[in-house]
Amino acid sequence: MAAKYIFITGGVVSSLGKGLASAALGAILQARGYKVRLRKLDPYINVDPGTMSPYQHGECYVTDDGAETDLDLGHYERFTGVSSRQSDNVTTGRIYSEVLAKERRGDYLGGTVQVIPHITDAIKEFVQSDVTDEDFILCEVGGTVGDIESLPFLEAIRQVRNDLGRANTCYLHVTLLPYISVAGELKTKPTQHSVKELLSVGIQPDILLCRADTEIPKGEKRKIALFCNVKEECVIPALNVDTIYDVPNAYHKEGLDVEILRHFDMLEEGKEDDVDLSRWDNIVDRVRNPEGEVNIAVIGKYVELLDAYKSLNESLIHGGIANNVRVNINWIESGRFEDQDPADHLGDMDAILVPGGFGERGAEGKIAAVKYARENKVPYFGICFGMQMAVIEAARNLAGIADAGSSEFSDCKEPIVGLLTEWKKGNRVETRADNSDMGGTMRLGAYPCALVEGTKAHEIYGGSYVEERHRHRYEVNVAYKDRLEAAGMKFSGLSPDGVLPEIVEIPDHPWFVAVQYHPELKSRPFEPHPLFSSFVQAAMEKSRLV
């Protein structure tokens, strides 16, 4: 069977949850026994989100093969377990870069390069590339219908229907039904206008997924169907739920997967409920009915926008699912501890986590949080920048290296953390310099780590070798390893050649583990990452839940 393409667009306003809807639909189709792949088409002109501020775009998600991508790919992976690749996220910037490179090579034989057909052909080629035996390819189009930058993508997916036919393509439009409290009713007009915008570029949606705060009356569904030219049963309510992991169940109950299969003429009579969502039932039950709760402080630099820590937030929830407890996350701006005593804010916390980040702002506050956790025997988890700050804190206060610092901030006498200029990736050597381009020049993607036997890390992973995803430019300087280990900090994981420190821990602490990579990128609700499961368990022990 040829792959079926489902294109997900969004209208009325941004942040409607297209990514979550795509991920949930993928999960339901998987539960019906189909193989899925999810992709994101981003209209912004950046080549990728790697150089964007977290405040602009939220988290930058990294794949095994080193692609810096949109955070929605994290939803895709968490809901389906299918590892994303470089070929699953493309931007306007990348499309134009590739087309212009071809033009410079003379590939267009002197022709005038235009949006149609050259840009749209490049988008279509991306959409249909790297497909093997998948039954469904779900392609989310970023942005909001009506935005000028999304027009080439909409034109491209319009053409895909002409190329592949209606039997192999489906348009799913996510829209909003706002509730006007003074009128006491839901309003359908924004949805009508959004569909009109789609029609203006030649796309008639097949199914409408209507976000709403309250139940959608039957009369309103009938009205939407009439004015938007879709079948009434294809107007699918998408109401708010108390946990995102209930979305697959909620959408199935409203018939989203049934209408998708009917559209493709793939639904056998009487098989409407032939779907196994039991694992999602189990996850939702654990989220809703925990046996206790723990309080974990996250000391970050971007806490004003929690999307900057989307995967981290979900991974802590997964750690709670694994231990059947609710994790209450207390987000604290790290700069606060540069002039305030951490004890005033962390005294009632069961564990402390310092996540990744870039730049000097808030660094000393993170170091103060590390010191508090180490001295007061509070479980501590450092990730990326959080590991670097933990090593600097140990160098200063355990090894007596008063001038310990990071060359990321400025020249320092004791560069415990420094710029990585050369490393191995597979069979090739990667090199960087201070004046390298910013985009795509970090140590990115999955790298191996050898674990030292008898350490906490070895115990948690239950093995001697792991591969984890990285995204950073600076590294802990292995030249300080012996001095730090003599002072009480164990290097429990290194690159196979022993050059790059990957994990450090403090053996005489209840739970003090810091890693250079980003384990949150590989955690799933049905397969919580072992580091997060162990960390939450340590928090439970601190709070005397176990």
Q: Which of 384, 475, 502, 529 is catalytic?
A: 384
- Amino acid in the structure at residue 242: D
Please give the helix or strand (H or E) that residue 469 lies within, else none.
strand 465-472
Please give the helix or strand (H or E) that residue 198 lies within, else none.
helix 189-200
Q: Which of 68, 393, 475, 520 is catalytic?
A: 520
- Radius of gyration of the CA atoms of the chain, in A: 25
Quick count: other Cβ atoms within 10 Å of Cβ 55? 11
Q: Which of 118, 173, 518, 529 is catalytic?
A: 518
Q: Which residues pair with 69 in a beta bridge?
A: 61
Please give the helix or strand (H or E) that residue 382 lies within, else none.
strand 380-383
Alpha helices in 309-462 (DSSP H): 310-323, 343-346, 363-375, 385-397, 456-461
HSE-CB at 87 with a 13 A cutoff on CA atoms is: 11
- List Cβ<8 Å contacts ≥24 apart for 202-206: 202/155, 202/158, 203/9, 203/154, 203/157, 203/158, 203/171, 204/171, 204/229, 205/9, 205/171, 205/172, 205/173, 205/230, 206/170, 206/171, 206/172, 206/230, 206/234, 206/263
Closest CA to 438 of 42, 62, 68: 68
Closest CA to 50 of 76, 64, 70: 70
Tell me the two tokens of residue 525. 């609700």
Q: Dihedrals φ, ψ of 263, to 5°? A: -60, -40
Burial class from Cβ neighbours inside 10 Å (0-12, 13-18, 19+) for residue 213 reads exposed
Please give the helix or strand (H or E) that residue 501 lies within, else none.
strand 501-505
Residue with tokens 């450090």: 504
Dist. CA 274–CA 88, nearest whole Å: 29
The question of whether 384 is a catalytic residue gets the answer yes
The question of whether 518 is a catalytic residue gets the answer yes
Dist. CA 494–CA 387, nearest whole Å: 13
Residues in the chain: 546
Active site residues: 384, 518, 520
